[in-house]
Chains A and B, each alone.
Chain A
């Protein structure tokens, strides 16, 4: 007989499962965490390599000469920006036309659901200016984008200057096979969103773009705020944790090595001593920064919004720190020229290399096949618990009265539905109430709109903690032993599916949630000590995870902050999350409020079952 169909063997297997359940769960958890930490260890990673045949090696000759002139143009731009107090549209149009591009503008306006205190804007109105360099001999079927944001104050003037300098140089070459679009967007991400929607004719917040260059193959966003730099930083993380194709990072790294510019990722320089403790911790820090940034689900550069349209994009930031070797604007121009010449050789979209990866340094990467088992080990814990509960449920209960056993299943289902529905209603309330009732909150309390939204969210979240005591009043009696087991089984499976789907799309978010929620799901029963477990449950809830992540993120960036600042940062993170969702369609906020929080509430419910 087979292993599972032989009743003796099955009984032995099941007893093994129930006896060893907790030890196996603990071992799996340790193994999952260890696997994840081991990903940054250099022998377990692979060196990056160029996968796309058409891009070949870096054998082009870069000849961009006009770095100084580009900086002068940047200074002119800065002066005009100060004079107009925003985007100098006429000056930009005139300059781009003088360089031989076809220039167009796009107006857009957007009203945020509540004022954004970080960037101090509420009703945003702006103009994007873009110039198209038509390929001399090719049909207008494909395009590349180079963009620089028009930021208030003294930021990114050199970026716009370099963009215009490159535009002039590119215009004089005849080897372009794709159109190149030079874009200066106002109000960074909002303007970029409006431009992308207008270009692709999707639901727009601005007008449609008059003229197009074909389908965009790749895009680079430039952020440069100083005349000379010491290093270039590459930013890959985009909206909802989506990453561009690894070939784009490989291209950047290859050109950095060829030209001799210092290149970093996550702002951290690469180290060669991977076998020492400090070297390994450095790699771990770099990887954890990437994980944190990816889990937040927000675009960390203007490039982040391109990824949704299957356009590979990255942001290049110029960093000026205290180092001996400085790089001037001509060299940066040459690097960009080389990258664009190689992107010009592409015959199809970048697809040969990985789309899902983690980078502990710019020259090493970990692909999805290597990092997924870390999450898989955590998900196995949930499945083991579910099996254990299933076994417990199917052993016939020791009952003295026969009549009670009949109504058990019916009562079981009813008692199951109530917590589920109430938890999800709380989640819906957490999703919708903060924005809906901000006016009412502002009327009654002396707070600004942003604070009202955030504090309403926290209030609804905390109110949800009081629920278990209330749902029991709805039930016609106390919960039964059977009842909480069924609820826990459903909750554990629900959590497993939820975390699995999240990890597929955004591994970092799924893994961080799994790290905190899986122990919760595993150990919670009505019989554990109430006060201590309640405390642990709150510590491991999504909101506290977010709070700890904020502090941890600041630590990783070597800018540790005090508790007061940390709390304020935490509040601003919540408001940014809500804004990202309504402006760009980020999915982190709905995921947490509508799915993860109700799931956690179910476990809270189980804790207070009796």
Chain B
């Protein structure tokens, strides 16, 4: 029995742009392009955590304020008028990012800033910025390493915070960021291999900066053809931006993923698809609804690890230990006592014992 269906019931997206300053305009445009696609395919703002490290739309140097363009000649404004940025400016830090993923946020954090996923959530994580071999730079002042990221995903797995997770990264040497993953059900894509730089795509002369990175540009082109009912699968996503277009070699990693990538739909991660079944039969609902017998229920596939047994807290009873034969020290002590006894009082009493 091969599970070709994902078994997820809700979709989340965490989209992060980690660099600030006007000349990193393209990273914000990257993130906003993916945001736009993900929203178009159905994931609502309440299920998207958007983190932008700098405000390009309202930067003093932007000749078209309140816009962020992803195509030159100002064809496509990805900022729009319905963008909801959850983490902005200096709030985009490594600590906040890891706290979002693991769920360890202070109680005062509003719901829009939390990743409230459960064990039936498919999560898309998109990172872009400046990176290197094994790290990603946040805000020009700190870094997240690939080990930290892998550990964060393992925490998510242990707390059952995702069903399946797609990780896309568009930075220089991006493939180094997914080298250390070890949790199940992770699929990863990167824009370049270790030792390669990811290049930017096209400058816009009126704005005076590069607008997009190549990988995300072709990714966006690919996603524009996806609609909620598409059956395009991950193998097509792996072919996005070959070396002839991207100059760097995009990479991907599927060995931790339980399903075959050919059976994974793009909309499993990028969209929020609800399957609707039409039925012509009437269904009788008895009143009150009767309980099904326990034998027909499908067995739970996963069990919670018993991290904090409640009984222990309430009753404070020590655990029953199994009986062990007395160890050598006790034996030796008793032998010594016996020998001393017989030494003192004579050997003839020995026959009383044996």
- Using CB atoms and an 8 Å cutoff, list the residues of chain A in contact with chain B: 53-54, 56-57, 59-61, 135-138, 173-177, 341-342, 344-345, 347
A54-B22, A54-B23, A345-B23 known; A61-B61 Cβ under 8 A? no
Other-chain residue from B63, B203, B205 in contact with A173 (beta carbon distance below 8 A): B63
Report Cα–Cα, A138/B58, bound state, in Å.
10
B9 within 8 A of A: no
- Cα A344 to Cα B61 in complex, Å, equals 8
- Interface pair A61/B205, CB less than 8 Å apart: yes
The CA-CA distance from A59 to B207 in the complex, in Å, is 9
- B65 engages A137 (CB within 8 Å): yes
Task: Take A54-B21, A345-B23, A347-B21 as given contacts and tell me if A60 and B61 are in contact as well, using a CB distance cutoff of 8 Å.
Answer: no
- List residues 47-87 of chain B with CB under 8 A from any CB of chain A: 58-63, 65
Whether the Cβ atoms of B22 and A345 lie closer than 8 Å is yes
Q: Check if B347 is an interface residue, CB within 8 A of chain A.
A: no
The residues of B that contact A177 with a CB separation of less than 8 Å are 59-61
Complex CA distance for A385 and B205, rounded to whole angstroms: 62
Can you show 11 pairs from A to B with CB atoms below 8 A apart? A56-B209, A59-B209, A61-B208, A137-B60, A174-B63, A175-B208, A177-B61, A345-B22, A345-B23, A345-B61, A347-B22
Q: Interface code B280-312, partner A: CB below 8 Å = 1, 0 otherwise? A: 000000000000000000000000000000000
Q: Are A61 and B209 in contact (CB under 8 A)?
A: no
Whole-angstrom distance from the CB of A413 to the nearest CB of chain B?
A: 60
Q: Does B206 contact A (CB under 8 A)?
A: yes
**Contact: B62 with A175, CB < 8 Å?**
yes
Partner of B60, one of A59, A60, A138: A138
Give bound CA distance, A54 to B23, whole Å.
6
Chain A hits for B62, CB < 8 A: 175
A135 CB contacts on chain B under 8 angstroms = 60
Contacts of B61 in A (CB 8 A): 175-177, 344-345
Chain B residues within an 8 Å CB radius of A57: 203
Q: Is the CB of A56 within 8 A of B23?
A: yes
Inside 8 A of B21's CB, which chain A residues have their CB? 54, 347
Cβ-closest 10 pairs across A and B:
A177-B60, A61-B205, A138-B60, A175-B63, A59-B203, A60-B208, A137-B60, A177-B61, A175-B61, A61-B206
Q: Kindly list chain A residues whose C-beta atoms are within 8 Å of the C-beta of B208.
A: 59-61, 175, 341-342, 345
Complex contacts, B65 vs chain A, CB 8 Å: 137, 174
Per the bound structure, the CA–CA distance linking A138 and B61 in Å amounts to: 9
- Give the chain A neighbours of B63 by CB distance below 8 A: 173-175
In the complex, chain A residues whose CB is within 8 Å of the CB of B203:
57, 59
- Report the Cα distance A572→B206, complex, angstroms: 51
**Chain A min CB distance to B230 (Å):** 37
A138 CB contacts on chain B under 8 angstroms: 60
B181 → A minimal CB distance (Å): 32
Cα distance A33–B208 in the bound complex, in angstroms: 46
User: What separation, in Å, do the CA atoms of A344 and B207 have in the docked complex?
Assistant: 12
**Extra inter-chain contacts (18) besides given A61-B205, A175-B60, A175-B62, CB under 8 Å:** A53-B23, A56-B209, A59-B203, A59-B209, A60-B208, A135-B60, A137-B58, A138-B60, A173-B63, A174-B63, A174-B65, A175-B63, A176-B60, A177-B59, A177-B61, A345-B22, A345-B23, A345-B61
Given the complex of chains A and B, what is the CA–CA distance between A57 and B209 in angstroms? 9
**Separation of A377 and B193 alpha carbons in the complex (Å):** 49
* A175 / chain B contacts, CB cutoff of 8 Å: 60-63, 208
Q: Within the assembled complex, what's the spacing in Å between the Cα atoms of A57 and B63? A: 18
Residues of the A chain whose Cβ atoms lie less than 8 Å from the Cβ of B58 = 137
Residues of chain B within 8 A (CB-CB) of A341 are 208
Q: How far is the CA of A243 from the CA of B209 in the complex (A)?
A: 29
- Bound Cα distance from A570 to B65, whole angstroms: 59
Interface residues of B in 177-210 (CB under 8 A from A): 203, 205-206, 208-209
B64 to chain A, nearest CB (A): 9
- List A contacts of B59 (CB < 8 A): 177
Residues of chain B within 8 A (CB-CB) of A347 are 21-22
- In whole angstroms, what is the CA distance A345 to B208 when docked? 9
Report the minimal beta-carbon distance from B111 to chain A, rounded to whole angstroms. Answer: 33
Closest-by-CB residue of A relative to B59 is: A177
How long is the Cα–Cα vector from A59 to B209 in the complex, in angstroms? 7
